[in-house]
Structure 1
């Protein structure tokens, strides 16, 4: 009996080992008991990205490492649109990009007219991608360009909201209280008069501006060329805008510079107390300048919204053979994580997320010490209405240059507002005639 019990124990141990072994999966085994096939590595290829005007260093810093980790099989070939790598150059050389950083002013001429347009709506639908994560005005504007409901791009930071900058040292020097968020243009005018003075033989200007973007990105979203007719849009409202601005340059000793561009640079010299300009990481102020900023002034009769220049957009070319990956790349570059990083660097977000907005400049050595809440004091104003389909248009840069020069002529006393606007209307009509004759 003892022998039989010994054999039984050994058999039980063998059975236990067998059951245990069967309960464990072999490495690489599938649920059906077979060996799980190894995932086939993705075929490597090159993705071409064109972001005209954006230096390679900026692209690398913001996006390249993230894209390399997420898409290891893809080599990103980046073009900044310099001579030899413009969109036309790349098309001619057979290197048409897969992704393009487009913008609204050139979307038609530099994208759609070249036969590169691609509607992202189907990809958005298939990916269940939430467009509501973006500020609505930026999605509305890109949808309006094609007039067909096509979504030709997704908004990439930054956009360019207006702000009021001030020189703290000058306010301290003359014992005047700093400007505050929520000021009106009339309050700003009184402050500019107080800060314009001559001291020790030095002229201190109370106010300067960037007249070009101030008038173009105005608090009424007023277009220059009428959206429905071949004429200047709403001359009465342009009269209001011109009169509001010109009074600052009529303050004794606050003479405008010879050009709009030079007036936009005057604040950086240190003898100007106040400046209206866009917030932009590309706006470089001298490190020795002790500046801060407050919200852009509110104009009577205008909505309490932030005048702004809209963002660029990531667009896929219709010729790309890698559209799915290109869309994945767009979603990655516009993710909450990367936009939070951007915001902390001072790059204004295209998202509606208040968390990302409030992080603006928090990680930047200069902006972290400034009143960056001023940038988000008001929501961005809706985009400027576009020309109706079928009407001849004038390039946006041409329009804004004509507008800006008209105002500079007024501010320099060469003409009055009514005459300047009548002349501007005639110049716009002459440009339309040129466009129609092409």
Structure 2
């Protein structure tokens, strides 16, 4: 009896140990296969900014979940102004709390690549035969030493938004698709009216340095990374002129009040707004919800006299995988969908321009309920040439900090335009020579 009891105990111990080993093995396989929990569900955490102002996020997530209901996408929302700083802190400890990273801009992308925080995607791309030519050259612009660490899902460019009702009320003709910067300033001065809280501004510059700096690179003679920034002077002088004449809101007040451009435009406080095509989706969504009654249209971005209409500045918004994520396979499956043709079709339905563009995609956007019905607005989406806001460069993150700091000093009147641009040239030159 004792021997039988002993054998039974050994068998029970062996089965328990085997079961434990099996569980451990299953957990490891689970991670390799995508990180599913005991219920078969996989939760992926995705870093985004201003999710409530981003019309395409939830529709794209819902479209993916209809294909794979065992995946949950949890959005980690960070404010736009603090996005890269907070994301850097979250990733610096090597944590796998974030699986998918929305890449906001080139400096942030370059910084995360340099810190090895992004997973190289080349093996995934090769295995699943992803066609990079579908992105019309934007994917190649993200290569670092011939490796891709993200794929684009949005490829936006700047246009000029305008408020039709404010122009109609003032009896002034709408801006055209061939508006120059000189005409733009004249039009802004002409339509500005009223006092105090009833003031209608002619135009609105958001606090980003890009609103002032980027128009200066449209002639193709300069880039935003170089050693001499004197070419920015005419555009800083124009911005300060309009600010001093109350043609547009005061930069310092916008900064201290954390005032978002969407509120200014949607509350009918400004007649014009230079901004990216990403704002179209929010406008259509907010009008559908009844949170704004703004009657809007768009035309091509203003241009210098020597530059062809339709020449503009473009941005690439992409999606990457945290190199420390334990759910890389599952993250890739979502990334592939989100940045692919199905994701593009879903994104386009919210009025946002996806990275994969086609005639069907443009028609999808312009036929959306809420998109302006006039031909001028539709023509505004036809571009002549697009320059990147910031080229991929190992020093771009450091240079971005310098550009922002000097922009802030000039726009607040803490330094003169000439002195600010001299200091900007000096600091960037030193950074490039390191």
Question: Does TM-score exceed 0.5, indicating one fold?
Answer: yes
Secondary structure of the residue that 2:177 maps to in structure 1?
A: coil
Say which SS state the counterpart of residue 421 (structure 2) adopts.
helix
The separation in 1 between residues aligned to 2:130 and 2:421, in whole angstroms, is 46
Superposed, 1:84-163 pairs within 5 Å as: 89=90, 95-103=96-104, 104-110=106-112, 112-113=114-115, 115-136=116-137, 138-143=138-143, 146=144, 148-157=145-154, 159-163=155-159
Deviation at 1:198, TM superposition (A): 5.7
The residue aligned with 1:238 is 232
SS of 1:311 mapped into structure 2: strand
How far apart are residue 295 of structure 1 and its match? 1.6
CA distance in 2, matches of 1:95, 1:203: 49
1:64 aligns with 2:61: yes
1:165 paired residue among 148, 151, 161: 161
Aligned residues: 373
SS in structure 2 of the partner of residue 52 of structure 1: strand
| C-alpha distance 304-87 of structure 1, shift in aligned 2 (>3 A) | same
Task: Compute the displacement of 1:219 (Å).
Answer: 5.3
CA RMSD across the alignment = 4.1
Cα deviation per residue 1:206-236 (whole Å; 9 max; x = unaligned)? 333225231244351655553xxxxxx4323
Q: CA deviation at 1:152?
A: 0.6
Q: CA deviation at 1:388?
A: 5.5
Partners of 1:263 and 1:321 in 2: how far apart? 36
Pick aligned residue for 2:320 from 315, 319, 323:
315
Instruction: State how far apart, in whole Å, the 2-side matches of 1:58 and 1:167 are.
Output: 21
Equivalent residue for 1:403, pick from 392, 400, 407: 407
Determine the structure 2 residue equivalent to 1:278: 276
What TM-score do the two structures reach when normalised by structure 2?
0.70
Q: Work out the CA distance in 2 between the residues paired with 1:197 and 1:66.
A: 46
**Match in the other structure for 2:294:** 289
Displacement of 1:121: 2.2
- The CA deviation at 1:179 is 1.6
In the alignment, structure 1 residue 182 sits paired with structure 2 residue 178: yes
Match of 2:247 among 228, 250, 254: 254
For the structure 1 residues 386 and 292, does the alpha-carbon distance in structure 2 shift closer, same or farther, using more than 3 Å as the test? Answer: closer
- 1:150 Cα deviation after fit: 0.5
User: How far is the alpha carbon of 1:100 from its aligned partner?
Assistant: 2.5
Return closer, same or farther for 1:201/1:94 CA change in 2, 3 Å cut-off: closer
Q: List per-residue Cα deviations over 1:111-139 (Å, max 9, x = no partner).
A: 541x3332222332333321111132x32
Q: Unaligned 5+ residue runs, structure 2?
A: 1-32, 80-85
Larger radius of gyration: 1
Within the candidate set 341, 365, 368, 1:360 is matched to 365
Deviations 1:365-415 (A, max 9, x none): x335576425513156232454755x6952635532432441452xxxx76
Give the unaligned 5+ runs of structure 1: 1-40, 227-232
Judging changes above 3 Å, is the alpha-carbon distance between structure 1 residues 308 and 378 closer, same or farther for their aligned structure 2 residues?
Answer: same
Contact 1:257/1:263 (CA < 8 Å) preserved in 2? no
Match of 1:17 in 2: none
